[in-house]
Amino acid sequence: MKRRRFIAAGTAGFVSGGFNAHKGYTRQSSQTYREPERELPIAENTDVIVCGGGPAGFSAALASARVGAKTRLLELKGCLGGTWTVGLVNCILDSEGKKGIIEELEQTLGERGGMFRNRIDPELTKLIIEEMCLEAGVSLRYHTRVVGAVSNNGRLASVITESKAGREVWNAKVFIDCTGDGDCAAYAGCRFDIGHPETGSVQPMSFLVYLSGIGPLDDLPALSLKTSAERKDWMYRELKRAGIEPSYSRPTFYGIRDDLAVLMANHQYNVDALDPDAVTRATVQARAETAAMVYALRSLGGRWKNIHIVATPEQIGIRESRRIHGRYTVTVDDLMKGARFDDAVCHVRFGVDIHSIDPGRTKGILDDGIKTKPYDIPLRSLIARDVDGLMMAGRNISGDFFAHASYRVTGDSVMLGEAAGKCSAKAALGNRLPHEISIDELDMP
Ligand SMILES: Cc1cc2nc3c(=O)[nH]c(=O)nc-3n(C[C@H](O)[C@H](O)[C@H](O)COP(=O)(O)OP(=O)(O)OC[C@H]3O[C@@H](n4cnc5c(N)ncnc54)[C@H](O)[C@@H]3O)c2cc1C
């Protein structure tokens, strides 16, 4: 990519210039300012742009580049992996029996020592998925947030970003929204839903914490107990014994390396992921709560006496926000009847997993008694309904509240990313739109 120089070096140790030093801001009212119009540089013209590099986005970009499309990935943080890496969530659910990129990733992690008791090592995950993308020819841009979109005659033409390089425009033939929150699609004017159909409530956010100083994990009762329910009960009792009533009453606690464990015992209820003040409050509360838990456990002595925090997430874990309207919407009925589709791109076996949206009722899990059967996700639910040239992958695809609570897990996100990447690349290379691509052309594993 051609670099533009915005700043001119002055005398040694002093840099002058200031592309951001816009003049002409005018006060419009007591509440607002008017920003002056400005010309934005076009950073790139490419085939496929993937917005967001989490489990869905890395896979989408990788698949697109492997098909042969010139692919750009725009990511807000300084690494790939999203909730796996900046969120420290390290369990891949619903990957069993799945082929393609998810199988390749698990195999590579295993071979390179990045799997421990079926948990993935976040640092090795960062490195491996970055290497996979670079080897395939994906162009990466970190530290860059998608903040706007431009459509022409109902087709998405560009996204606008902000970074230390200022505001830039990126043009592509096809875009894939993998921001988790559906940012790109929302800026492009797509309609979307958020939360429970009756209350609008969203699943809680959670803050994980990595712990050390517990000694060999093999003799920890939490790890020798057979079922996940028994392990959760044990951890809950330990926290109660330490005088803590956790905001999540079904805490998970597991080892990922010798003397490295993970605790998830926090829920931040009904936080709007699109409101930075609310997310900041939730993060501050969550950090304080998890620290208090660790101090309380330490005060118990015994195996807890040297426990300390070694890492917390840079981004609190967001379970849900926008679900973008697609050409098909996966519904709870599809889950209950085990729907099959001719244009299936992902077969989901994971059930409905709703972390409580009503802490007055429970601080645990609410599945509302929904019994599901394995079901398909059709390609159409990855294609935006309101704007052409735009696909979605990951947790922001088109589905209802209950369906989202099932397919949002990372084994499925990677599979959806792969499908969106292949479809977008085929469309871009053939000067077609994603909805003009047939499932047979995708060669899904
Ligand atoms: C606390 C918690 C525990 C979970 N536990 C599990 C589990 O055990 N197993 C499992 O499989 N799943 C689990 N999940 C679900 C799973 O992690 C997510 O649903 C999954 O990560 C979704 O993948 P994604 O790629 O769609 O989104 P994300 O992982 O959210 O990634 C989105 C990416 O987009 C980037 N981004 C966002 N906005 C912008 C923007 N405007 N511009 C540029 N980049 C942007 C973000 O930085 C991020 O890298 C859990 C989720 C949470 C929150």
pLDDT confidence band for 9 (50 / 70 / 90): very low
Q: Which residue has the higher pLDDT, 125 or 223?
A: 125
Distance (Å) from CA 374 to ligand 1 centroid: 22
Which residues on neighbouring strands pair with residue 367, listed in sequence order?
A: none
Give pLDDT tens digits for 143-153. Answer: 999 999 999 99
pLDDT, position 12: 47
Using CA atoms, how far residue 401 sits from 174, 185, 319, 405, in Å, is: 27, 18, 11, 6
Nearest CA to ligand 1 atom 26: 394
User: Side chain identity at 196, as an amino acid letter?
Assistant: H
| CB of 181 closer than 6 angstroms to any ligand 1 atom | yes
DSSP 416: H
Angstrom distance (rounded) from CA 289 to CA 78: 27
pLDDT at 20: 52
What percentage of residues in the chain have a pLDDT greater than 90? Answer: 84
Least confidently predicted of 255-264, 311-320, 322-331: 255-264
How far apart CA 212 and CA 113 sit, in angstroms, is 19
> Quick check: 140 and 65 in contact, CB under 8 A?
no
The pLDDT-based confidence of 216 (bands split at 50, 70, 90) is: confident
pLDDT at 231: 86
Q: Is 319 in the pocket of ligand 1 (CB under 6 A)?
A: yes
| Per-residue pLDDT band at 385 (split at 50, 70, 90) | very high
Q: Is 45 within 8 Å of 423 (Cβ atoms)?
A: no
**Whether residue 52 has its Cβ less than 6 Å from ligand 1:** yes
DSSP 347-382: EE------B-S-TTT-SSB--TT-----EEEEGGGG
Beta-sheet pairing, 260-264 with 209-212: antiparallel
Let me know: does 261 contact 217? Beta carbons within 8 Å.
yes
Estimate to the nearest angstrom the gap between the alpha carbon of 163 and the chain centroid.
20
Give the atom of ligand 1 at the shortest distance from the alpha carbon of 56.
25
Reduced to 3 states (helix: H, G, I; strand: E, B; else coil), residue 211 is: strand
Nearest to 377 by CA among 357, 400, 354: 400
Residue pair 169/158 in contact by the 8 Å Cβ criterion: yes
Radius of gyration of the chain (CA): 23
pLDDT at 429 over 60: yes
pLDDT, residue 22, reads 62
What pLDDT score was predicted for residue 89? Answer: 95
Mean of all residue pLDDT scores within the chain:
93
pLDDT of residue 218: 67
Burial of 16 (0-12, 13-18, 19+ CB in 10 A): exposed
> Which residue's C-alpha comes closest to atom 16 of ligand 1?
409
Instruction: Decide if 139 contacts 72 (C-beta within 8 A).
Output: yes
Q: Does the Cβ of 76 fall within 6 Å of ligand 1?
A: yes
Alpha-carbon distance of 104 to 59, in angstroms, equals 11
C-alpha 445/C-alpha 437 separation (Å) is 17
Region 20-38: mean pLDDT is 85
Write down the pLDDT at residue 367: 75
DSSP symbols for 70-114: -EEEE-SSSSS-GGGTTS---B--S-TT--THHHHHHHHHHHTT-
313 half-sphere exposure, CB direction, 13 A CA radius = 28
420 Cβ closer than 6 Å to some ligand 1 atom: no
pLDDT at position 2 over 50 = no
Measure the CA–CA gap between 177 and 180, rounded to whole angstroms. Answer: 8
In angstroms, what CA-CA distances link 258 with 116, 197, 215, 254, 368?
Answer: 9, 44, 8, 11, 37
What confidence score (pLDDT) does residue 295 get? 97
pLDDT bucket at 19, cuts 50 / 70 / 90: low
pTM for the model: 0.95
| Closest residue CA from atom 2 of ligand 1 | 317
Q: Are 112 and 124 in contact (CB under 8 A)?
A: yes
Instruction: State the chain's maximal CA–CA distance in angstroms.
Output: 71
Ligand 1 nearest atom to the CA of residue 395, by list position: 26
Q: Is the pLDDT of residue 127 over 60?
A: yes
Q: Which of 83, 184, 406 to mutate to test the pocket of ligand 1 (most atoms within 8 A of CB)?
A: 83
pLDDT digits (tens, 9 = 90+) for 86-112: 999 999 999 999 999 999 999 999 999
pLDDT at residue 128 above 60?
Answer: yes
pLDDT over threshold 80, residue 7 = no
230 — pLDDT class (breaks 50, 70, 90):
confident
pLDDT for 222: 62
Which DSSP helix (H) or strand (E) runs through 209?
Answer: strand 209-212
Tell me what percent of the chain is helix, strand and coil, each rounded to the nearest 5.
Answer: 30, 25, 45
The whole-number pLDDT of residue 224 equals 67
Write the single-letter amino acid at 173. K
